[in-house]
Chain A
Amino acid sequence: MSIPTELKYTPSHEWIRVEADGSITIGITQHAQELLGDMVYVEAPAVGRSLNAGEECAVVESVKAAADVYAPVSGTVTANNSELDSSPEAINSAPYDAWIFKMQPADASAVASLLDAAAYQAVVDSEAH
């Protein structure tokens, strides 16, 4: 499977896209959605909520599993994707389009230290063993 090189990643399988205005958009990776299976529900954080890096802030739920989504960096939630309320399966069909929430990072430099595609590939490979 191909891991988009323009995105950043976390070891807990979130992807992060840095937008032109310095905000970031967060979703879960292709690998994560495969592990979870058919998505049935997404609970995203409220707009305005302030998050610390690594804080549990969203839940993605399939029939047989549920997983927490963690804030990749500290910051404030600026948007959440209400389309996932009615079509959570978008995460299965297009995980890199089906964003869950957006944040304004407290410290822009924190984003740079997230994993790149190659490093994330290594995380996925190590889990296969």
Chain B
Amino acid sequence: MPFIPHTSQDVSSMLASIGVAEIDALFDEIPAHLKSGSLTALGAGLNEMQVARLMRDRAAQDTPLLNFIGAGAYEHHIPAAVWELATRGEFYSAYTPYQAEASQGTLQVLYEYQTMMASLTGMDVSNASLYDGASGLAEAMLMAVRAHKTSRRILVPATVSPFYRSTARSIVKLQDIELVEIPYDRATGTVDMAALAQHAGTDFAALVIPQPNFFGALEDVDALTNWAHANGGLAIALVNPLSLALLKPAGLWGDNPHPNPLPGGEGTNAALRAPVGADIAVGDGQPLGAPLSSGGSYFGFMCCKQALVRQMPGRIIGRTVDLDGKQGFTLTLQAREQHIRRAKATSNICSNQGLMVTAATIFMSLLGQDGLRRVAAASHQNSQRLAALASGIAGVSVLFNTPTFHETVLQLPKPVAEVLANMANAGILGGYDLSADYPELGNALLVCATETKTEEDLQQFVASLQAAIA
């Protein structure tokens, strides 16, 4: 029997100990007519050899092409040691570290992870992960509304990923939170500051600030953060963690401290008056060691200023001492969480993405500060090179005149879907077609080249794009 070790002798002696004649007797409290019949559709079980054959056949039907799509999921080299270590049974098959003494391995990894993420984002604290970046953005919005106390409106630029906006809306709308779209400047592909200024003096809990934004463009994060704070709202940074090896950390954005105290802020919570910087930083940790995997598993990260820590959702690990004064790690601030606070918890989240975080911690440790910077810089350079090469093609141009991290929008002379289909036939995933989400941009293609791409790859992209347009 697959994964059931019982011999028939075991079964009979166990039944005797219980005092019943057969296993079915153990289900005698269940109304007989509720018991299900056979599972016809499922078929017979496969042994390991058979299921391996099935899965190899299925994997062979997935055809990997040379990939230039980013749009929120990025192809990076993952050092071999990352998943060798993360899939060790001691990490892979452990539960949530509720029994701290027997979970010091997982707990210390998470504490190290929190330290790395807080440093990358320039924030004071980090939680131990959320599901993904998009649902993490929704949690950040809920957290901002809790912290702000008086407003249920969030300003969301159109330069935030449409996938994130859609997900956030699904999650926050049932609590009557309104997402107000802020348009972008058609010349720069960044937030339209004049349009944003029209919201000055209105009631809002937070402004979401993407860096880089969905177009790959770099926003004027200092100005946006200052604007949010000057107008009484929190600043939620939505960041790519890899880019932070190069870019100014969210905790240092802007130079205009919070209004003091926050509107509706509680007296004893006057610490809510954060110094400079975004108040909450979230994003997707996928670039830190998670394979693309058709969309998951990735992980969401969330960091914030110390003053907001009790409003954070998700698990948090703290360092403390044991009975003998020895250093140890444990889950802390659990009174925020659903298993204690129930209906008044900061979120319903329980399971998070622990194994992905374990991989990310190992990934960041192997690359270190220098390696992470090299990966980020090489990705940046490759995407610049790609944009330069592509804009040499007649009829193709770079759409926005703004600095980018590792993605760029190209304007094409033909419908993008058609071009991409032709490129796919040549073995290339040419990018993400923006025409459905941003029809006003016409034939706009979002392309990404990470450090994984060689000069030959870039030339192949250009040749294929040229052929697809011709």
The answer to whether A and B touch in the complex, with CB atoms under 8 Å apart, is yes
Residue of B nearest to A67 (CB): B335
Q: Judge whether A65 is part of the interface by a CB distance below 8 angstroms.
A: yes
A42 CA / B335 CA spacing, docked (Å): 12
Q: Quick one: CB contact mask for B332-343 with A, threshold 8 Å, 1 for yes?
A: 001100001100
CB neighbours (8 Å) of B341 from chain A are 66
Residues of A within 8 A of B335 (CB): 40-41, 61-66
Contact A44 B310 (CB under 8 A): no
Q: Number of residues in B with C-beta < 8 Å to the partner? A: 12
Question: Using an 8 Å CB-CB cutoff, how does the interface string of A54-93 with B read, 1 for contact, 0 for none?
Answer: 0000000111111010000000010011101100000000
A85, B268: Cβ atoms closer than 8 Å: yes
B268 contacts which chain A residues (CB < 8 A)?
42-44, 80-82, 84-85
A35 to B134, CA, bound (A): 39
Counting chain B CB atoms within 10 Å of each CB, the highest count among A43, A46, A64 belongs to A46
Chain B residues with CB under 8 Å of A81's CB are: 268
In Å, the complex CA distance between A57 and B187 comes to 49
Q: Are B340 and A80 in contact (CB under 8 A)?
A: no
CB–CB A43/B340 < 8 A:
no
Q: How far is the CA of A62 from the CA of B336 in the complex (A)?
A: 11
Task: Please report the C-alpha to C-alpha distance between residue A62 and residue B310 in the assembled complex, in whole angstroms.
Answer: 13
Range of interface residues on A (Cβ < 8 Å) = 20 to 34
Instruction: Indicate whether B269 reaches chain A with its CB closer than 8 angstroms.
Output: yes
Chain B residue numbers with a CB within 8 Å of A62 are 335
Residue ID in chain B nearest A79 by CB atoms: B267
Enumerate chain A residues within 8 angstroms of B266, measured Cβ to Cβ.
Answer: 43-46
Name, among A45, A64, A65, A66, the residue most crowded by chain B CB atoms within 10 Å (CB to CB): A66
Name the contact of A44 in the complex, choosing from B264, B265, B267, B344 (C-beta under 8 A). B267
* Contact call B267/A80, Cβ cutoff below 8 A: yes
A13 to B335: give the CA distance in the assembly, Å.
19
Report the minimal beta-carbon distance from B125 to chain A, rounded to whole angstroms.
Answer: 15
**Nearest CB in chain B to that of A48: its residue:** B267
Of the candidates B264, B267, B269, B340, which one forms a contact with A66 in the assembled complex, judged by CB atoms under 8 Å apart?
B340
CB-nearest residue of chain B to A42: B268
Choose one: A40, A46, A68; the contact of B267 (CB below 8 Å): A46
- Cα A40 to Cα B335 with chains together (Å): 10
Q: Considering residues B266, B268, B310, B341, which has the most beta carbons from chain A within 10 angstroms of its beta carbon?
A: B268
Give the nearest-CB partner of B310 in chain A.
A41
Query: How many angstroms from the CA of A40 to the CA of B18 in the assembled complex?
Result: 46
A47 adjacent to chain B (CB < 8 Å): yes
Smallest CB separation, A99 vs chain B (Å): 13
What 1/0 flags go to B247-290 for Cβ under 8 Å of A? Answer: 00000000000000000111111000000000000000000000
Which one of B264, B267, B341, B344 has the greatest number of beta carbons of chain A within 10 Å? B267
Q: How far is the CA of A113 from the CA of B452 in the complex (A)?
A: 74
A21 to chain B, nearest CB (A): 20
Interface string of B229-249 (1 = CB under 8 A from A): 000000000000000000000
The answer on a CB contact under 8 Å between A47 and B267 is yes
Question: Which of B264, B310, B334 has a CB less than 8 Å from the CB of A64?
Answer: B334
Contact A63 B334 (CB under 8 A): yes
Specify the chain B residue showing the minimal Cβ separation from A36: B335
Kindly state the separation between the CA atoms of A68 and B335 in the bound complex, as whole angstroms.
12
Question: Contacting B269 at CB < 8 Å: which of A43, A65, A68?
Answer: A43
Shortest distance from the beta carbon of A4 to any chain B beta carbon, whole Å = 25
> Contact flags (1/0) for A84-108 with B, using CB distance below 8 Å?
1100000000000000000000000
With both chains docked as a complex, state the minimum distance between the C-beta of B346 and any C-beta of chain A, in angstroms: 11
- Shortest CB distance B302–A (Å): 20
Which B residues lie within 8 Å of A65 (CB)? 335, 340
Q: How far does the alpha carbon of A77 sit from the alpha carbon of B268 in the complex, in Å?
A: 12
CB distance from B312 to the nearest CB of A (A): 14
Instruction: Map CB proximity to A onto B113-137 as digits: 1 under 8 Å, 0 otherwise.
Output: 0000000000000000000000000
Q: List 17 A-B contacts (CB under 8 A).
A: A41-B310, A42-B268, A43-B266, A45-B266, A45-B267, A46-B264, A46-B265, A61-B335, A65-B335, A66-B340, A68-B344, A77-B267, A80-B267, A80-B268, A81-B268, A82-B267, A85-B268
Q: Which residues of A are in contact with B by a Cβ distance under 8 Å?
A: 40-47, 61-66, 68, 77, 80-82, 84-85
Q: Residues on B close to A: CB < 8 A?
A: 264-269, 310, 334-335, 340-341, 344
Given contacts A43-B310, A45-B267, A64-B340, 20 further A-B contacts (CB under 8 A): A40-B335, A41-B310, A41-B335, A43-B266, A44-B266, A44-B267, A46-B264, A46-B266, A46-B267, A61-B335, A63-B335, A65-B335, A65-B340, A66-B335, A66-B340, A66-B344, A77-B267, A80-B268, A81-B268, A84-B268
